[in-house]
Amino acid sequence: MLASINRKLGLLLFIVAAVYLYLSFQLPNYEYAPIDADVIPKGLGILLLVLSVFLFFSRVVETDAEKAKRNIPKKELGVIAAVFAMIFVYILLFEAIGFIITTTLFIFFCSWFLGYRAWKTNILVSLLFPIVMYAIFVFALGIVLPRGILPF
């Protein structure tokens, strides 16, 4: 039943469309607008519902190139997940500790994690990049980045 990837994706999208459509029907009414805020969402929900059914029943054979794109070794997915986790931690600490320190740590460890072993260059870049960016944004563009625990 769910043999092909398109069936799985079709089912998933069907559920998304159904939830979206359900929420669209919960939208409150506003009396004085000829076209209320719920018209377009309802239309979109129905459209996605129909398209997901099409996808589910489409007999399009997946090309080899498409299949190859989908076939990613588990280990590589782990690497991507780890980078996402690093970004998550970065965002978590970004305002508390400050732009320069978190960015320095992120660039160094992320590059090192991805296999960059020239640590001298790595330290140089991870120190220079945040300082230069901070200077450009804060002093030249007037966009304030979090200072955090540093005094400047």
Partner 1 sequence: MDAFQGLLTGFQVALSLEGIMFVLIGVVVGTLIGMMPGLGPISAIAIMIPITYGMDPAPALVMMAGVYYGAVFGGSTSSILLNAPGISGTVATAFDGYPMAQQGKAGKALAIAAISSFVGGTVSVVMLMLLAPALSSVAISFGPPAYFALMFMGLTAISSLSEGSTIKAMIAAVAGFMVVTIGIDPQTGTQRFTFGNVNLFDGFDFLIIALGLFAVAEVCMLILNRKNRSLSDDQKLGSLKLSKADLKEMSGPVSRQSFVGFLLGVLPGAGATIASFISYIFEKRIAKNPEEFGKGSIKGLAAPESSNNAATSGAFVPLLSLGIPGSGTTAVMLGAFLVLGVQPGPLLMTDRPEIFWGIIASMYLGNVFLLILNLPLIPYLAKILSIPRPLLISLVIMFSLIGVYSISFNVFDLYMLLVFGALGFAMRIFSFPAPPFILAFILGGMMEQAFRQSMTISNGSLSIFVDSPLPLSLLLVALISLLVPAFLKWRSNRLAYKQR
- Rounded Cα distance between 98 and 85, Å, is 19
Footprint of partner 1 on residues 11-40 (CB under 8 A)? 13, 20, 23, 27-28, 30, 33-40
DSSP 81-124: HHHHHHHHHHHHHHHHH-HHHHHHHHHHHHHHHTT---HHHHHH
C-alpha to C-alpha distance for 67 and 23, rounded to whole angstroms: 34
Judge contact between 145 and 134, C-beta under 8 A.
yes
Q: Using CA atoms of 99, 105, 111, 112 in order, give the dihedral in degrees to the nearest 10.
A: 180
> Which residue in this structure is represented by tokens 């929420």?
23
By CB under 8 A, the residues from 108 to 137 that bind partner 1 are 110-116, 118, 121-122, 125-126, 129-130, 133, 137
Site residues for partner 1, 75-94, by CB under 8 A, read 76, 79-80, 83-84, 87-88, 90-91, 94
CB of 151 to partner 1, least distance (A): 21
Q: Does 151 bind partner 1 (CB under 8 A)?
A: no
Residue 15 Cβ vs partner 1, minimum distance, rounded to whole Å: 13
**Tokens linked to 41:** 């969402």
Binding site for partner 1 (CB under 8 A): 5, 9, 13, 20, 23, 27-28, 30, 33-41, 44-45, 47-48, 51-52, 54-55, 58-61, 66, 69-70, 72, 76, 79-80, 83-84, 87-88, 90-91, 94-95, 103, 106-107, 110-116, 118, 121-122, 125-126, 129-130, 133, 137, 141-145
